[in-house]
Amino acid sequence: MGITTNDFFENIYSVIFSPKAFFERNDLTVSVRLAIGTVIFIASMYKIALGITDKSILDIWFIFKLIWFNVTTLFWWFVAALYFEYIAKIFSRDGNIKKLLFLTSFAPVPYIFFIPLNLLKNSCSVGFTIATFSEFALYLWIIYLYTLALKSVYNITNARAFMLIFIPIISTLFALYQTVCFLQKMWFIFSV
């Protein structure tokens, strides 16, 4: 018997323990409401973990910060989905935006592991080192899950999925480099 896709915790369990099987399933019942709920749950858990470690959870404005964090996370999640949809058209691939939203909502599930890592970071220097390397591994895991989601939606290779993920990073770094070069030239021109 397969995993029912409308069960929130079953989906999270399968993303953690059998991600490839979850993202490659063809019988998914796509629910945008469940996807939005997943994004809000993961973002809230992440923000609460940060609030516990830096003690900002005790601040009276924390609930408003949490709401704002969820709103901005939802906004950037939608922007990322639109970006992936637009760039995939360059590869001549048509996708399903609802399926993309659904699958990419489960890709950041490893963020829930940042809660114990943040507590470990504040324990001692060895804990800080272990937590830092573990966070790096979690980020790699998240990139892998996004790759699986993009492969499933657009039927593309691993290389193209990585390109979809890293094109904005590379273009942002290039734009930053160009901005610094421009500012250096302006500084040189006006300092003479």
The whole-chain average pLDDT of the chain stands at 85
The band of 11, judged by pLDDT with boundaries at 50, 70 and 90, is: confident
**Is residue 103 one of the residues assigned to a domain?**
yes
CB proximity list for 12: less than 8 A, separation 6 or greater: 38, 106, 109, 112
Higher pLDDT, 144 or 53: 144
CB atoms < 10 A from the CB of 37, how many? 13
Q: Is the pLDDT of residue 168 over 50?
A: yes
Residue 117 within a domain: yes
Assess whether pLDDT exceeds 80 at residue 53. Answer: no
Asked if the structure places residue 161 within a domain, the reply is no
- Whole-number pLDDT of residue 190: 85
The pLDDT, as a whole number, for residue 83 is 87
164 touches 87 (CB < 8 A): yes
Kindly state whether residue 186 falls inside one of the protein's structural domains: no
Residue 147: inside a domain, yes or no?
Answer: yes
Q: What is the mean pLDDT of residues 144-158?
A: 89
User: Is residue 41 in some structural domain?
Assistant: yes
Confidence band for 55, pLDDT divided at 50, 70 and 90: confident
- How high is the pLDDT of residue 1? 40
Query: For position 71, what pLDDT does the model report?
Result: 95
Number of folded domains that form the chain: 1
Could you list the residue range(s) of the whole structural domain that residue 54 is in? 8-156
* CA pair distance 140, 15, nearest whole angstrom: 15
Residue 146, in any domain of the structure = yes
In a domain, 130, yes or no: yes
Assess contact for 96 and 159: CB atoms under 8 A.
no
pLDDT at 6: 56
User: Tens digits of per-residue pLDDT, 69-112?
Assistant: 999 999 999 998 888 888 877 776 777 888 889 989 999 999 88
